[in-house]
Amino acid sequence: MEKVDMNVNETRASLNFLEQIIENDIRNGVNNGQVLTRFPPEPNGYLHIGHAKSICLNFGLAIKYGGKTNLRFDDTNPTKESTEYVNAIMEDVKWLGFQWQEPVLYASDYFEQLYQYAIYLIKKEKAYVCQMSAEEISKGRGTPQTPGVESPWRNRAVEESLEELEKMRNADYREGERVLRAKIDMASPNMWMRDPVMYRIMHAHHHRTGDAWCIYPMYDWAHGQSDYIEGITHSICTLEFVPHRQLYDWFIDNLDLTGIRPRQYEFARLNLTYTVMSKRKLLQLVEEGFVNGWDDPRMPTVSGLRRRGYTPASIREFAERVGVAKRENLIDVSLLEFCIREDLNKTAPRAMVVIDPVKLIIDNYPEGQTEELPAVINPEDPDSEKRMVPFSRELYIERDDFMEEPPKKFFRLAPGAEVRLKYAYIIRCDSVVKDKNGTITEIHCTYFPDTKSGMETTRKVKGTLHWVSAQHAVEAEVRLYDRLFRVPEPDNVEEGQDFKDFVNPDSLKVVTGYGEPFIKSALPAQGFQFERIGYFSLDKDSTNGKLIFNRTVTLKDSWAKVGNQC
């Protein structure tokens, strides 16, 4: 007995508030200790990193406590929803590594049941058909400080409301002419209790139910009931739904339901610096051509992150580190970047690629000679295999790796300086050739044959450079991605300013670089690390037979640092 308590206390120390709630419920035998959560996206856009947090939470909780998670599409507003979004969402959830309880569910599966529930409430005199206009209803609701006024239709006969509702369903009315309202309390301090709308008329084609319905339930009249029908135990949503909870409970109470009682809990949604997270705004970026689609690698969408080289594990880790609480937060993107670096560092194959090439010629290396030098594919992996890298007299190195007049702490190549070429020899720079504009076109060096990689040598160098053999190099089209926004809080700019004014015009650059032949054979491995340049991944796109890489410029990488130093 004592031992159990101690264990509880020990594990408790690291539990978030939702885990505490669930453990309490299990301990108290609530729902026989069953846990069934749900992830309920509206299919009106692609999932973003904020949804990923919710997914990890809902699925993670169920996994931790031996439960299941439903995937339910909250498809109650046909004008905004589509099958394209449904499919994209399913793909993203699967890609993140989670399995929902089959089958996939839809709020629209319950339209008939909801309709019957509505009849029940009308008969109980807890709902009525109102024929005020949207504007009148809104006005009648009052303000948070002042009570609203009751609708003149509020106390109409039950039979009348029943008939009206049927007429609504039978398309006897145009949009806006009738709504079904719950009869609660027009003076409630909670605006959502002032006779909220349950059904509205929409003569719209639904992506699943087609034209079967012309009345559609509102969120509040669909969500809790869907939870109940499915037997959801813990219905977890974001903080802005806190005021809805009272209504959520009211519907369930007044329906006199006797099954598993779902409970709503709220957590703070994710906010990220330099990132817009609202679906509405992301849709604008897509529609107005700021990006090339929902899955543009600069987008904070799950599909965008995927194309950018993020792994499912890194996103799950991020969700874990971000934590769960009820206070507003603004997470630094550097945490997300840390998570992908941490993952890729352990798993990503390495290769050398030169993005901004300048030719380096080793004058004392025999013309026409080629050597195959062994290189480690992944130094973090003890079992890593080796690849052979061709070496010859003419190489490309990074333009930034050479400075004619180096500052004091510059460890790389400069006139008279010595550096090691990774996996190869130590070289010394003797001279440079420039074109008429003063741009360096060739760097001439001497190599020391007795410094070949693996040999003992007394020569000490501070710098090591990556390189590719000019004649063997594979040409690669490289896409460099920077942050989409220039400001930390694009969601929160000053009044009168548009978040789109802060889109970074340089967020995408396409350049041609040169890579080892190895990268060609390693296709289509996901997640590359290029020596000293940073992490790359292969994009799905491949045009003109060229290799396309995503470069995550915002990831920590010394290449960018050097750029800043100069």
Partner RNA sequence: UGACCGAUGGUGUAACGGCAGCACUACAGAUUUUGGUUCUGUCUGUCUAGGUUCGAAUCCUGGUCGGUCAACCA
Active site residue 279: yes
- Site residues for RNA, 444-473, by CB under 7 A, read 452-455, 462-466
Phi-psi region of 527 (alpha: psi -120 to 50; beta: other; left: phi over 0): left
For 18-37, give one letter per residue: b (16+ CB within 10 A) or e: bbebbbebbeeebbeebbbb
255 binds RNA (CB under 7 A): no
269, 281, 399, 422: the catalytic one is 269
Nearer to RNA, 548 or 562 (CB): 562
Is the Cβ of residue 216 or residue 481 nearer to RNA in the bound state? 216
Instruction: Check residue 239 for interaction with RNA (CB under 7 A).
Output: yes
3-state secondary structure of 402: strand
Of 122, 221, 215, nearest to 171 by C-alpha is: 215
Residue number with CB closer to RNA (92 or 557): 557
Binding to RNA in span 92-121, by CB under 7 A: none
Q: Return the range that interacts with RNA (CB under 7 A); candidates 7-15, 25-33, 250-258, 361-369.
A: 7-15
> At its nearest, how many Å lie between RNA and the CB of residue 64?
15
CA-closest candidate to residue 304, choices 330, 322, 323, 285: 285
Q: Which of 351, 354, 420 is nearest to 386 (CA)?
A: 351
Task: Return the structure tokens found at 380.
Answer: 């973090």
Name the 3-class secondary structure at 34: coil
Smaller CB separation from RNA, 6 or 134 = 134
Q: Whole-angstrom Cα distance, residue 272 to residue 330? A: 5
174 belongs to the catalytic site: no
Residues between 372 and 391 that touch RNA (CB under 7 A): 379-380
| 51-70 binders of RNA (CB under 7 A) | none
According to CB under 7 A, which residues from 508 to 537 bind RNA? 530-532
Cα separation, 499 vs 276, whole angstroms: 8
Examine residue 497 and tell whether it contacts RNA (CB under 7 A).
no
556 binds RNA (CB under 7 A): yes
Q: Are 473 and 444 in contact (CB under 8 A)?
A: no
- Asked whether the beta carbons of 141 and 147 are under 8 A apart, the reply is no
Q: Which of 279, 393, 412, 428 is catalytic?
A: 279
Asked, as a colleague might, if the bond just before 103 is cis with ω within 30 of 0, I would say: yes
Q: Which residue, 54 or 550, is less far from RNA as judged by CB? A: 54
**Identity of the residue, 141 or 479, whose beta carbon is nearer to RNA in the bound complex:** 141
State in angstroms the smallest separation of the CB of 57 from RNA: 12
**Which burial class, exposed, middle or buried, applies to 327 when counting CB atoms under 10 A from its CB (0-12, 13-18, 19+)?**
exposed
Question: Residue 125 is encoded by which pair of tokens?
Answer: 């005199």
In whole angstroms, give the CA distance from residue 477 to residue 289.
Answer: 22
Number of residues that bind RNA (CB under 7 A): 96
What tokens does 559 get? 């290449």
Q: How far is the CB of 325 from RNA (least distance, A)?
A: 3
Establish if 232 lies at the interface with RNA (CB under 7 A).
no
Give residues 132-151 in contact with RNA (rule: CB under 7 A): 132-134, 137-138, 141-145
Whether residue 309 contacts residue 550, with contact meaning beta carbons closer than 8 Å, is answered with yes
**Is residue 370 near RNA by the rule CB under 7 A?**
no
* Binding residue for RNA, selected from 61, 165, 352, 445, defined by CB under 7 A: 352
Q: Assess whether 475 carries a catalytic annotation.
A: no
Positions 304 through 333 that interact with RNA (CB under 7 A): 321-332
Catalytic residues: 42, 269, 279
